[in-house]
Structure 1
Amino acid sequence: MAQIPAQRMDQRLMREGRRTRGTLYFGIGLGLAAGLLIILQAFLLAHIVDDVSFHGWNLAAVMPLLWIMLALFVVRAGFSWASELVAFHASARIKTYLRERLLSHLLNLGPVAVAGERSADIASTMIEGVEALEPYFSRYLPQMALVSLIPLAILVFVFPADWISGLILLIAGPLVPFFMVLVGYKAEAINQRQWRKMLLMSAHFLDMVQGLTTLKIFGRAKDEIEIVARISDDYRRTTMAGLRVAFLTSAVLEFFASVSIALVAVSLGARLLEIPPPVTFYTAFFVLLLAPEYFNPLRGLAIHYHARMSAIAAARRIFDILDTPLPAQGTQTMAYPDTQSVSLSVHDLHFSYEEGRVALAGVNAEFPAGKVTALVGASGAGKSTLANALLGFVQPDSGEILINGRIPLAVLDRESWWRQLAWVPQNPRLFHGTIAENIRIGRPDADMAALREAAKNAHALEFIEALPQGFDTPVGDLGQGLSGGQIQRVALARAFVKNPPIFILDEATASLDMENESLVLDAMQRLIQGRTAIVIAHRLAMAERADQILVMDAGKVVEAGTHNALLAAGGVYARLAAAYRGDHA
């Protein structure tokens, strides 16, 4: 994504803020009301001090004004608190909306499009990145509005009272935003580096934790500790550089504010000493009370200006993801017709990845209804890409996939198509939750009887019931707490409980021992009995049981037939079988 200027990022963030425009305006209005009460407080306080000091008023005479002052303090505090609360709720709604958009866009992109992204990078963007926008919407944007309104309101009262003081404030006020913008150019680059360092650190931490066993076995744990320490130190230095810029911004503000207030005070004091004084004590005191308040919104802007820089840095990555174009998916307007008999036909299918790598080079294949078809071939032959095309995750560059010989897959609504499928990958993913919740992913409304039946068919019931809490036993991320064979059988139970007419399986036995392989193979045979099934076969044990075998090489189907027929032909399949037997001799 091209580097977008900060001003354009501001505009885009503000467009996102329009979704809660009414709430934000209400919060700004409350903040403005609190600011206007400051003027009224200064007016009353100046009157009280002037009347007591120069007009002989006693405590009883000024007591009503003091009560009014106390009420103003309470109301002003209430307005300030309510303004922050309203702005926080508005920003919370924006954050929720952006997280939903990010998740929805990632799901629409599909697993193929996001395969090159680091999961920790995406997770950090969805959590820390979106969270970094909260100060922007809840504090910076309201403060920007108050900066243009409250100082202007104060000048409206100061100029009629003393035009010299008003002129000093009018000249000094714009200098603060001017120097903040100058400093901001430096801060933007620093915050960009800080955000990139944070994403790198998050991704590296995740990689290290997930690969802890490998690092320990190969004796690289200490090296990784040094790498993490270096990345952390880089992040620390970048963070400190950003804080230095933030402190510089505050220092610039305080300098101009202090000088301006001092000039107002000296000017008023000098004129009060004249005989007769050209200004009254009440006027001088009133203006002097308002002078610091004139700079308060600017001070708040300086404090939250760093939050703007951090938000823009995070927003670049957020919008980078949201601007990633969705893969072409055809028209997708037709719902899948209800039918239990499904055949698939592939005609001259071509597909290349963005980097120019050809994955499918004119695939022609038939997947008969109710039959098991095994896809075999060397690594890189195109088996997984063909499966992704059948799943609807990639749109072919040319060619078509027909359902029952007449319905193009390209016109089917993807959600209705996925409801007809069960996908069991080679390394299935279990999510943090109970075993029952993981099986119910296949059918959320499944009752316990259905879960037990599915687990029984998947040879998983025995080990599930032996667990401390049975189906309510929690499992960690990636199935932590279960063995590889148990994870595979829970995944098969998930497919059993869904019970769709089409199964696509990336052979789930490639990394299992002989005992688990036998159980999983038996469960897979039950699962696909009488259904249309496509199995990516890494071991020939599953291919031998298939009704037909399609052999892929260089993105094409080069052979088709049964196990015995292909062996007799002495072609690619025969060579693969010979190599497999040699490896397992």
Structure 2
Amino acid sequence: MFDKGLLTLTDIKKTMRGLVGLYILQAFLIVGQAVSLGLVITHLWSGKPLKEQFIYIIGFIISFAGREGLQWWSNRWLDDYARVEAKKLRKTLLEKVFILGPELVQKQGTGHMVTLTLDGISEVEDYIQLTLSKMISMMIVPIVVLAMAFYLDWVSGVILFFIYPLIVLFMIILGYAAKAKADKQFVSFQRLSNHFIDSLRGIDTLKYFGLSKRYANSIYKTSERFRKTTMSVLRVAIL
């Protein structure tokens, strides 16, 4: 799911404009790959000699290499951008924690704050990288492919024109279903992290009263519930 908070990041519009240009070029290279490969296969199937397909094979290789080069460039660009923004977010989070003090930690839970600061920011970094690349590519590549399909064969273009919305609708439904499950999972994860950190902090006291084994079983049951809910989210998300 797309979070509108991404639009508040520094230089996000400049980054998106650059990615749009890269993915437009990549879309035309994808079309070049498909056309070159299709011509080679159809010509060979019709009995034409392989040496006559040399120019199409070269075209396919150039398109493939160009596409991979642009993909590497865009990934590196997004890696650098996401890393810088993640550092800024982590700095802002730590500043707020120090300003608000123990009140915030007590309200959110020690385990939750530790997880949010360490793993949470790293996940935000991955989210920035993946969301921007996938969102922009899904907006541009299908349109270019559809336009080329209409140009080469209008019947195929019409079929794609009606199939594309169904694919998008299916992805939206799955996205909302996965988001609903993930929101429920977040509460369980927060409870588990707080439970675990509190257990570590009080392990000496638990041993003193002979309750360490009982508490270990409690942590095991909580983690098992978390594992099952995580798998239920993944079952929907990977469809």
Q: Quote how far apart the aligned CAs of 1:155 are.
A: 1.2
Does residue 23 of structure 2 align to residue 45 of structure 1? no
- Equivalent residue for 1:176, pick from 138, 142, 167: 167
Tell me, in whole angstroms, the C-alpha distance in 2 between the residues paired with 1:230 and 1:203.
15
Which of residues 74, 78, 84 in structure 2 aligns to 1:87?
78
Alignment of 1:259-408 (within 5 A): none
Establish whether residue 68 from structure 1 lines up as the match of residue 59 from structure 2. yes
Q: Are 2:22 and 1:30 equivalent residues in the alignment?
A: yes
Q: CA deviation at 1:43?
A: 2.2
Runs of at least 5 residues in structure 2 that lack an aligned partner in the other structure: none
Residue 29 (structure 1) shift: 3.3
Among residues 7, 12, 25, which one is paired with 1:14 in the alignment? 7
Q: Deviations over 1:199-244 (max 9, x none)?
A: 2222221111121111111011111111101110111111011011
C-alpha displacement of 1:178? 1.3
Is the 1:20–1:93 Cα contact (8 Å) retained in structure 2?
A: no
Indicate if the aligned counterparts of 1:26 and 1:86 stay in contact, CA closer than 8 A.
no
Q: Does 1:150 align with 2:125?
A: no
Q: For 1:103-142, list aligned pairs within 5 A.
A: 103-112=94-103, 114-142=105-133
| Aligned-partner residue type, residue 47 of structure 1 | L
Please say if residues 23 and 141 of structure 2, whose CA atoms lie closer than 8 Å, have aligned partners that are also in contact: no
Label 1:77 to 1:195 Cα distance change in 2 as closer, same or farther (>3 A).
same
| Alpha-carbon distance in 2 for matches of 1:244, 1:50 | 39
Contact 1:159-1:166 within 8 A present in 2 as well? yes
Amino acid at match of 1:86: W
Q: Which runs of 5+ in 1 are unaligned?
A: 1-5, 251-585
8 Å CA contact retained: 1:30, 1:79: yes
Q: Is the 8 A contact 2:26 2:67 kept in 1?
A: yes
* Higher RCO (CA 8 Å, separation ≥ 6 residues): 2
Instruction: Tell me if the contact between 2:23 and 2:136 (Cα under 8 Å) persists in the aligned partners.
Output: no
| Structure having the higher Rg | 1
Q: 1:108 to 1:19 in 2, by over 3 A?
A: farther
Between the aligned partners of 2:108 and 2:39, the Cα distance in structure 1 is 66
Deviation string, structure 1 residues 156-189 (Cα, Å, up to 9, x no partner):
1111222221111111111122122223333222
- State whether residues 27 and 83 of structure 1, in contact with CA within 8 Å, keep that contact through their aligned partners in structure 2: yes
Report the counterpart of residue 90 of structure 2 in structure 1: 99
The structural deviation recorded for 1:71 is 2.5
- Summarize the Cα distance change of 1:165–1:62 in structure 2 as closer, same or farther, 3 Å threshold: closer
Q: Deviations over 1:285-310 (max 9, x none)?
A: xxxxxxxxxxxxxxxxxxxxxxxxxx
Distance 1:207 1:112 in 2: 16
Q: CA RMSD in A?
A: 2.3
Return the alpha-carbon distance in structure 2 between the equivalents of residues 180 and 52 of structure 1: 37
Q: Tell me, what secondary structure is at the counterpart of 2:77?
A: helix
Aligned mates of 2:56, 2:226 — CA distance in 1:
55
CA offset digits 1:5-37 (Å, max 9, x no partner) = x77xx2123323x53443344344334322320
Alignment of 1:222-237 (within 5 A): 222-237=213-228
Larger proportion of strand: 1
Rounded Cα–Cα distance in structure 2 between residues aligned with 1:64 and 1:164? 28
* Residue type at the aligned position of 2:90: R
Partner of 1:538: none
Number of the residue aligned with 1:399: none
Q: CA deviation at 1:117?
A: 4.0
Q: How far apart are the structure 2 equivalents of 1:143 and 1:98?
A: 22
Cα shift at 1:108: 2.3
Alignment-derived partner of residue 409 in structure 1: none
CA contact (8 A) 2:175 2:237 kept: no
Higher share of residues assigned helix: 2
The amino acid that maps onto 1:95 is: A
Q: Is the 8 A contact 1:27 1:82 kept in 2?
A: no
Residue 55 to residue 233, structure 1, CA distance change in 2 (3 Å): closer
TM-superposed CA distance for 1:51, in Å, is 4.4
Deviation track 1:497-554 (CA, whole Å, cap 9, x = no partner) reads: xxxxxxxxxxxxxxxxxxxxxxxxxxxxxxxxxxxxxxxxxxxxxxxxxxxxxxxxxx
How does 1:458-469 map onto structure 2 within 5 Å? Answer: none
Aligned residues: 239
Contact 2:196 2:219 in 1 (8 A): yes
- Kept in 1, the 8 Å contact 2:182–2:233? The answer is yes
C-alpha distance in 1, partners of 2:36/2:22? 21
Please state whether the residue corresponding to 2:210 is helix, strand or coil.
Answer: coil
Bigger shift: 160-169 or 231-240?
160-169
Of 204, 213, 217, the match for 2:208: 217
Tell me, yes or no, if the aligned pair for 1:52 and 1:58 is still in contact at 8 Å.
Answer: yes
> Residue 13 and residue 199 in structure 1: after superposition, are their counterparts in 2 closer, same or farther (change >3 A)?
same
Cα displacement string for residues 61-110 of structure 1 (whole angstroms, at most 9, x for unaligned residues):
33243233222222221212222222222211221111111111222224
- Judge conservation of contact 1:87–1:138 (CA < 8 Å) in 2: yes
CA separation in 1, counterparts of 2:15 and 2:187? 32
Counterpart residue type for residue 145 of structure 2: I
Secondary structure at the residue paired with 1:133? helix
Where in structure 2 are the equivalents of 1:176-575 lying within 5 Å? Answer: 176-247=167-238, 250=239
Contact between 1:19 and 1:94, CA under 8 Å: does it hold in 2? Answer: no
Distance 1:36 1:127, change over 3 A: same
In the aligned structure 1, how far is the partner of 2:41 from the partner of 2:175? Answer: 42
Compute the TM-score of the two structures, normalised by the length of structure 1.
Answer: 0.38
* Paired amino acid for 2:72: W
Query: In 2 relative to 1, CA 112–156 (structure 1 residues): closer, same or farther, beyond 3 Å?
Result: closer
Distance 1:163 1:126 in 2: 53
**What percentage of aligned pairs have identical amino acids?**
28
